């Protein structure tokens, strides 16, 4: 199956700093990528849908100025948590959707990034 990577796998930062998380589709091009966050012992909640070359679509309740998403190419989307605070500590998972071929419309997930804000 298609492979999606995330970097870094974990990050610890001080409150008030910004953190960038990268999501890459390694062996396919993804017009659409998604960003989820997961709190301990809870399910994945969609934060935003990222479309290559256009502005991301954010879910209700997600602050677009705090969670900056850029999808500059068909293989890379980035999530920047600006002015991070302890309540932003979470597990962030990206996924990329396949747009062609036998896996059409299937989403493949990255391994996740554990963010801890001190």
Partner 1 sequence: KQEVTQIPAALSVPEGENLVLNCSFTDSAIYNLQWFRQDPGKGLTSLLLIQSSQREQTSGRLNASLDKSSGRSTLYIAASQPGDSATYLCAVNQAGTALIFGKGTTLSVSS
109 near partner 1, rule: CB under 8 A = yes
- Which residue from 77, 112, 115, 117 is in contact with partner 1, where contact means CB under 8 A? 112
Sheet of 4-7, strand order: 4-7, 19-25, 76-81, 67-73
106 near partner 1, rule: CB under 8 A = yes
* Token pair 């062996």: residue: 27
Choose between 17 and 27: whose C-beta lies nearer to partner 1.
Answer: 27
114 near partner 1, rule: CB under 8 A = yes
- Which residue from 29, 49, 82, 89 is in contact with partner 1, where contact means CB under 8 A? 49
Asked if 53 contacts 59 with a C-beta cutoff of 8 angstroms, the reply is no
93 near partner 1, rule: CB under 8 A = yes
């Amino acid at each position: 199956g298609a492979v999606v990577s995330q970097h870094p796998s974990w990050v610890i930062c001080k409150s008030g700093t910004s953190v960038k998380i990268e999501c890459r589709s390694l062996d396919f091009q993804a017009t659409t990528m998604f960003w989820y966050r997961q709190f301990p012992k809870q399910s994945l909640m969609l934060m935003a849908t990222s479309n290559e070359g256009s502005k991301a679509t954010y879910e209700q309740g997600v602050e677009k100025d705090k969670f900056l998403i850029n999808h500059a190419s068909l293989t890379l989307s980035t999530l920047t948590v600006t002015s991070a605070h302890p309540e932003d500590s979470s597990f962030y998972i990206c996924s990329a959707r396949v747009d062609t071929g036998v896996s059409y419309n299937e989403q493949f997930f990255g391994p996740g990034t554990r963010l801890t804000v001190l």
